[in-house]
Structure 1
Amino acid sequence: MAISPPFPPHPPNPPQPGGAPEGGVLRHAHWWQRTGVRYGALITLLALSGLVILALVREQTGTQGFLVGLGLAVLPVPLLIAAFRWLDRVEPGPWRNLVFAFAWGACAAALIAIVANSFATRWIATATADPSGADTLGATVIAPVVEESAKAAAVLLVFLFRRRDFTGLVDGVVIAGITATGFAFTENILYLGNAFGTDQLTGDGGIASVTAATFFVRVIMSPFAHPLFTVLTGIGFGVAALSGERQRVRRVLLPLSGLLLAMGMHALWNGSSVLGEWGFFAVYGAFMVPAFAVLTWLVVWTRQRELGTVREELPAYAAAGWISPAEPYALGSMRARRLARDHARRHLGKPAAREVARYEAYATSLAFLRHRGRLGRAGADFVVRERELLNELWRRKDIARPALDHAARMTAPPVPVAVPPWAVYGAPGYGQGYGRPAGPGPYPWHPQHPLQAPAPQPLHARPGYSGYVPHPPYPRPQQHEG
């Protein structure tokens, strides 16, 4: 069974420009392959889409209607973003991915939807014998396909080009949910602005009946509607991310299945409007609310399972000396993580708290990487990525370890048995005729205590594992400086 060799005494040289391998021939990247060019093109595309969608919405609603719609549509956005960020607290993704997802949904996806839906509705009205049904057909058939495909494009882009940030189901849910939140924000501006214009035409001053009814249905009753649809697509991509690189058929079929489910639920929701008032509430109560509850339970359960993965995978690194014995327990508890950041903030200031937060994120990524390696789903860059994450942890250990050890002591359950004073590690007389505990610490030792749990079975001894076996920390260049 192939095992990677131990770490070299120093980290390898960074990749050379143009993607040349280490020691290979230096090749200059084409101009369109440069990171700056790609970022510039993406920002330009989103900015132009935003300007065009702004002009289109303002043209349809008028300036006053646009401002009213904007003021009302923004209300649920902070709550939805906060909810998705809460789900992503175990392994928080970078903000740039979330900003891109929201901007894509609010600008690019909304522009595609407005243009494609308008064109399709006009084509249906001219091609069919009954033009009166064009709007209904467009809303129930065309709109779900166009809108869900446009939103899914953002998830696909992150999945393809930010693969290291897209490692599981929660990542798919968060990216999809943020994208749909941006899309719903723009769509709500349009609907609320048009409703306000209708009230103005009927002679009602201010925000009257149509605007209030639209606000109640779209913002109060169903702010989660668009996120719910697109989250199904995100789940498909998230499960595909957990699949091995050789399972190509599965990695294609799962996202497509999620997209088809999203389109189907979206069509059911839009079609409920033609069933009358009671039909709408029947679909809302029989399908939307239960689906929202089930998906919420699934994501929260997955979040707790991720914490369990952290507690299970990190002890191997504690046994090798990379982290302290208490850290796997502390990093597997959101309460302990928060206490560690608070402890660092009180004693060393906000920059130290940010370093502890980064340490927690890198340690979580390391646990997930090792878990994928144990299941045979890690990529070819497993060893390189593991080394990078260990480097990041080692750089921050002097700040993070004391905070996490403190948090572990504050949150650990009591020792389940009475331990005499002479059995406390570090106390006078300790160790006379008794075995040393599995890890250091000023706490009583018991084999079942989470802070003193013995190291798990090495991964290379488990069936099917062909990944890297962690070795003790190796010297860093900065240790020899000065």
Structure 2
Amino acid sequence: MATCPPYPTHPSGSTGGRGRHPHWWQRRWVRYGALVTLLGLSGLVILALVRRQTGTEGFLVGLGLAVLPVPLLTAAFRWLDRVEPSPWRNLLFAFAWGACAAALIAIVANSFATHWIATATADPSGADTLGATVIAPVVEESAKAAAVLLIFLFRRRDFTGIVDGVVVAGVTATGFAFTENILYLGTAFGTDQLSGGSGIASVTAATFFVRVIMSPFAHPLFTVLTGLGFGAAALSAERQRLRRVLLPPAGLLLAMGMHALWNGSSAFGEFGFFAVYGAFMVPAFGLLTWLAIWTRQRELRTVREELPAYAAAGWLTPAEPFALGSMRARRLAREHAGRHLGRPAARTVAQYEAYATSLAFLRHRGRRGRAGADFVVREQELLNELWRRRETARPALEHAARLTAPPVRMVPPPWPAHGPYGIPGAPQPAYGYPGAPQPLYGTAPAPRPPYGPYQQQPGPPPRPQQPPVPRPGPPPRPRDPHPGGAWQDPPYGPLYNPYR
């Protein structure tokens, strides 16, 4: 008796949703609903706790003052993330986790630990100092690090390097500091009211100056150290398991240490706070700012170095790698598209830039042996997304390249038009799409005319093109750029496989 063949499996190993249905808790809407419910309940509980401690009037005053640094910090992290923007849902989750879940965990755990220390020791007066110096850094940094860990585990495709770790950690800490500032500023306002003052008096003003003016970056600075650990782990290869396991806890320990030093500065004497602020906080802030900006520039250089391979294969025009590797050219391209075609076109260009950047980073990881098993699948997804937006994005990027290109003769990369590039999943010409580069005598795409700063290189006279062959029906989708399979040897030669 004949048996039915098994269902074809997905590259990841699953059955692609056919056959056995997933359990109800594995459905995406169930997970999203549970996460939103958890954050919503945490927000309601933390709102009730803060309002109970500060009063309604103090809560409103603290809320109005605490919200002031939030747009500035969020804009700074978003600017840092402009090369390969993180999805808004990740940043919203990070901020909500810091403001609701992490703040609730910190308030409950710190209160319980301080009360336990006061009742278990012979000197209850030192419970507050010990709790602020030892307990609070451990609890708060662990609660904030949970958001970075969740995105690192469940949104691994969006977490690819140091900048991603810095941005996620910084946004999480911004949300946490927002809730904490409401509590401190509201309590200070209540103290001024009890002392007979009217409006915002001395205690509230001093608290606002210290927490909002002098050190709005304190909590983001601590948690960014944790984000650096996760970002460095994301850059590690699959075979470097020890680094991937040890780097995140190392960053978390550094964050706890700096947080403990900051909280314990008041115990160092009358000027201990200013000494710690000037000797540690300001230099650390400057160093991490420089590191983040340097990493951002390195990402742009990676885009300029990796995308010419796809331009040689016909997926991009020769001007696009330069334009996509310049933030000024990117901005000019979006403005040009929005001015002539409207805001939807500007959003299309922004999406094209984001997909091209992800493609460059994916190829960079493949060349260094850090690509995952889904390298080819992910590469094809990104190429298809670029091809669908090319008609809107290419003219804008070419215009931006003409405006921003340096006055030097640009030499095309010495790579072949297609074939092995020394990495798995080398890009191939987009044969099959209407308007895509077609093979010339079955070897390479036809030469493109020169434009902008890119000059046509001298060479033998071109051969006459073959007349186009009519194709009945709608144009087919692009053929698989890896005909031999994801990690097999295609007909045009062996590819380097880091997993062999």
TM-score (norm 1): 0.86
Equivalent position to 1:153, from 123, 146, 150? 146
Q: Are residues 1:362 and 2:355 paired?
A: yes
CA pair 76-25 structure 1, distance change in 2 beyond 3 A: closer
Equivalent position of 1:196 in the other structure: 189
Equivalent position of 2:199 in the other structure: 206
| TM-superposed deviation, 1:453 | 2.8
CA pair 458-306 structure 1, distance change in 2 beyond 3 A: farther
Q: Are residues 1:118 and 2:111 paired?
A: yes
CA distance in 1, matches of 2:96, 2:414: 45
Equivalent position to 2:383, from 386, 390, 396? 390
SS at match of 1:277: coil
Equivalent position of 1:165 in the other structure: 158
Q: Are residues 1:454 and 2:436 paired?
A: no
SS at match of 1:392: helix
Equivalent position of 2:287 in the other structure: 294
Equivalent position to 1:469, from 426, 433, 436? 426
| TM-superposed deviation, 1:15 | 5.7
CA pair 374-208 structure 1, distance change in 2 beyond 3 A: same
| TM-superposed deviation, 1:461 | 6.5
CA pair 457-371 structure 1, distance change in 2 beyond 3 A: farther
C-alpha contact (below 8 Å) 1:15/1:21 kept by paired residues = yes
Gaps of 5+ in 2: 1-7, 435-473, 478-500
CA distance in 2, matches of 1:371, 1:249: 22
Equivalent position of 2:14 in the other structure: 20
Equivalent position to 2:304, from 291, 297, 311? 311
| TM-superposed deviation, 1:456 | 4.2
CA pair 176-457 structure 1, distance change in 2 beyond 3 A: farther
Matches within 5 A, 1:50-449: 50-415=43-408, 446=409, 449=410
CA distance in 2, matches of 1:93, 1:471: 28
Runs of 4+ in 1 over 6 A off after TM superposition: 457-462
SS at match of 1:89: coil
CA distance in 2, matches of 1:457, 1:324: 15
CA distance in 1, matches of 2:289, 2:315: 36
Aligned amino acid, residue 32 of structure 2: Y
CA distance in 2, matches of 1:187, 1:324: 50
C-alpha contact (below 8 Å) 2:348/2:393 kept by paired residues = yes
Aligned amino acid, residue 238 of structure 1: G
CA distance in 2, matches of 1:146, 1:96: 25
CA pair 250-114 structure 1, distance change in 2 beyond 3 A: same
CA distance in 1, matches of 2:295, 2:240: 22
SS at match of 1:113: helix
| TM-superposed deviation, 1:469 | 1.0
CA pair 131-466 structure 1, distance change in 2 beyond 3 A: same
CA distance in 2, matches of 1:377, 1:458: 25
Per-residue CA deviation, residues 375-413 of structure 1 (Å, 9 max, x unaligned), is 000100000000000000000011111110110010001
Percent of aligned positions that are identical = 81
SS at match of 2:430: coil
C-alpha contact (below 8 Å) 1:110/1:186 kept by paired residues = yes
Per-residue CA deviation, residues 142-162 of structure 1 (Å, 9 max, x unaligned), is 000000000000000000000
Per-residue CA deviation, residues 33-52 of structure 1 (Å, 9 max, x unaligned), is 11000000000000000000
Aligned amino acid, residue 454 of structure 1: P
C-alpha contact (below 8 Å) 2:333/2:399 kept by paired residues = yes
| TM-superposed deviation, 1:189 | 0.1
Per-residue CA deviation, residues 109-149 of structure 1 (Å, 9 max, x unaligned), is 00000000000000000111100000000000000000000
CA pair 57-400 structure 1, distance change in 2 beyond 3 A: same
Gaps of 5+ in 1: 1-12, 416-445
Equivalent position of 1:422 in the other structure: none
Pairwise CA RMSD: 2.0
SS at match of 1:234: helix
C-alpha contact (below 8 Å) 1:319/1:455 kept by paired residues = no
CA distance in 2, matches of 1:385, 1:58: 48
CA pair 25-64 structure 1, distance change in 2 beyond 3 A: closer
CA pair 408-242 structure 1, distance change in 2 beyond 3 A: same
| TM-superposed deviation, 1:285 | 0.1
CA distance in 1, matches of 2:419, 2:104: 52
CA distance in 1, matches of 2:96, 2:170: 12
